[in-house]
Structure formats: C-alpha cells, structure tokens
Amino acid sequence: MKNLIGSEKQIAWANEIREEKFKYIDGKLTELARSHAPNEDFLKGFLDAVESLRSETSAKFWIENRSTGNEKSLVSKYHKK
C-alpha cells in the first residue's frame, strides 16, 4: 500500500485503521472465493474497487471512515468510481 499523507499523528492512527480495514476486507475476499463462484463482472468490479481503496493516500480519509462495520460501504464507494 502507498504511504499516507497527513500529520505524523494522523498517519500513525490512519495506518492502524487501514490495516484493520484490510484485514477484514481481505478476509471477506477469501470467504467470497471459497463460498461460491461470484459473477465475473461483479468480482472484477469488486477487486478494482479494493485496489483503488488500497491506493488511497489521505490519512484524513481513513480517520473519517474509521467506523467499525463500514468496510462494505467503503468498497461500494470505490466500486462506483
């Protein structure tokens, strides 16, 4: 993942948040792959969205989107871009 941009304190906090979010998202990707064969277009869009999310460099973004349980909405935001 790319380095974050922000104050030293923001970056430290945002890195923790981002790591937590991607543990969850990566777990869901693994679960999705094991549970059933998803629609190819859906999977490509989902993977593209996750990749875009991985490239988010704003510490402020991660802090503002730190709420537990919003991982699906984060991916959805990027899926529409």
pLDDT tens by residue, 36-45? 666 777 777 7
Are 58 and 4 within 8 A, CB to CB? yes
Number of domains present in the structure of the chain:
1
Q: Give yes or no for a contact between 71 and 79, defined as CB atoms under 8 angstroms apart.
A: no
Distance CA 45, CA 47 (A): 6
* Highest-scoring range by mean pLDDT, 31-40, 42-51, 54-63: 54-63
Q: Where in the sequence is the domain holding 60, given as residue range(s)? A: 8-79
| Phi, psi at 47, each rounded to 5° | -65, -40
CA distances from 2 to 11, 31, 36, 40, 54 (A): 12, 25, 31, 27, 7
- Domain-located, residue 29: yes
pTM given for the model: 0.76
Q: Where are the alpha helices (DSSP H) in 4-58?
A: 8-35, 40-54
Instruction: Specify if 2 maps to a domain.
Output: no
Residue 37 domain-assigned (yes or no): yes
